Amino acid sequence: MMTRCVVDPMTRIEGHLRFVTHIENQVVIDAQCSADMFRGIEKALIGYDARVAQQVTQRICGVCPYGHAEAAALALEHAMNLRPNANGQRLRNLIVGSYHLQDYLLHFYALCALDFIDITAVLHYQGQDAGLLTVRDWVKQEMASAKVFPAAPFLPRYEAAYCHDPTLNLSAIRHYLEALPIMATLHRMVALFGAKAPHPVTIEAGGVTTIPSLDSIIQFRTWLIPVAAFIRGAFRDDVTAVAQAFRPYFAEGRGAGHLLSYPFFPDATGANHAFAGGATLNGQYQPLDINKITEDSVRSYYSDQPDRHVKPLSSRHLTPIDWAQFNHERAQPNGKYSWARAPRYGGAVMEVGPVARIVNTYHAGINPAVTSLVNQYNQALGLTLADYPSVMGRHLARLFNALLILDRLEQDLEALVPDQLGFIEQPVPRNAQGVGLTEATRGALAHWIATDDQGYIQNYELIVPTTWNISPRDASNQPGAVEQMLIGTRIQNSAAPIELTRIVRSTDPCIACSVH
């Protein structure tokens, strides 16, 4: 007997995601992911000064605005044939890297830990930790109240198998509380050189407009010390412990296993990157070729033609279907079902994100620190690279990214020169094109820009991480990356499909970005 399971809305993510699965004999045989909102920001940029993009595209998302600022600046720099000087690159790394660290902690503790950790364990706490006692008493008070949803956002939850280790449960809850001020500190670090957080304003084409003083460098270092201690201590311990406690999830949510990443976190010269760009297809790594990137909108709520194999910047229009067409498509078994489009790499469905960064960099062999870290954990946990495109592999890869970026932040901070401008001003190029490639925490992010004969934006295009991951089917009827991760999953209870929500959350969807 076939069962239809709908999760709408998907909670503890950014934005409005709906997914529908069809289950037969407790196994998912079909899945559809729907991004349920329209924005159209990229085409709204047409006609404005090219430098506006760094600020406006950040408003696509309040969680990962730094990625859009960097990608927009890189796109215009590419059009200008310009690279920041050493101080500018290091300042940009400090802003972007701090945001990455904040986002990794946010994803694990605020969004995903509740999928694994048993929050009710705090009800039996008898120790002296003030934070845990406060949470315990608050939860008890909430449960005794007449609220419809007491103890939100911790409860309600699916009835499922959570962690049985009371020590791990209490430790993770304690670290959840400790992570909150650490994340606040990371936002202060972003604002120190970025002028504000979220939406830093100092990342521009040409570098960073902040001039670092000795005082600001010392302040950044002072804040970095407790951040580093937490990431190398509590965060590392919690992710490792959850990975060991839920080892079967290294085999769940695998999907197609094709991985795409862009070069990320350059050195002071801008020539060498900590993370490699490239694609791993069927286990074989190949260098990046951005000319292979296209988008389909066959199953997306747009009426533009052509609707398949469309290359970036080849169209200046994005036309949503009208209300009558929308209702018609929703009623069709093979109709359009998402506001997200379907990016493809040489026609292949690709997963992007922390796993792609780690696996592609490992294959490329450009960073000995990545190789050493992966080998260390593979030996300790009995893993291979094939285990990383999975629910638990994604969480582990985020830890690796955090540890590696933290090391680079410390190095860039020590090399930063006080009182030296990290910005090169240059006129906006006319009749030019550029592309900016970077990695947001969620994965491969690209901005394309074309300017007219006055230096205004003639066309603008973005393909963002979550668009890759939660894309609908394409013209060849290939399911998107997350859809493929869901298909084949065995679930215990279709009324409480925690197996499915664990898979979706492991990709850290940002729907506001995906439908930009």
Q: Is 64 among the annotated ligand-binding positions?
A: yes
Q: Is 106 among the annotated ligand-binding positions?
A: no
User: Per the omega criterion (within 30 degrees of 0), is the bond before 368 cis?
Assistant: no
H-assigned helices in 349-390 = 354-364, 368-381
- In angstroms, the CA 123 to CA 15 distance is 32
Q: Is 91 among the annotated ligand-binding positions?
A: no
- In angstroms, the CA 207 to CA 82 distance is 10
Residue by residue, what is the 3-state secondary structure of 389-446? CCHHHHHHHHHHHHHHHHHHHHHHHHHCCCCCCEECCCCCCCCCEEEEEEEECCEEEE
Q: Find the farthest-apart pair of alpha carbons in the chain and give their distance in angstroms, rounded.
A: 71
Residue by residue, what is the 3-state secondary structure of 173-184? HHHHHHHHHHHH
CA angle 223, 225, 231 (to 5 degrees): 105
Helices 86-105 and 391-415: angle between axes, nearest 10 degrees:
150
Phi/psi for 515 (5° steps) reads -105, 10
Tell me if residue 96 falls in helix, strand or coil.
Answer: helix
Q: Is 510 among the annotated ligand-binding positions?
A: yes
- In angstroms, the CA 471 to CA 480 distance is 5
- In angstroms, the CA 52 to CA 54 distance is 6
* C-alpha dihedral, 137 to 143 to 145 to 147, nearest 10°: 130
In this structure, are residues 235 and 395 in contact, taking their beta carbons and an 8 Å threshold?
no
In this structure, are residues 76 and 434 in contact, taking their beta carbons and an 8 Å threshold?
yes
Tokens of 136: 């315990």
In this structure, are residues 208 and 193 in contact, taking their beta carbons and an 8 Å threshold?
yes
- In angstroms, the CA 401 to CA 412 distance is 16
- In angstroms, the CA 250 to CA 388 distance is 7
Tokens of 162: 């959570």
State the binding site for Mg(2+): 42, 462, 516
State the binding site for Ni(2+): 61, 64, 510
State the binding site for Fe cation: 64, 513
State the binding site: 42, 61, 64, 462, 510, 513, 516
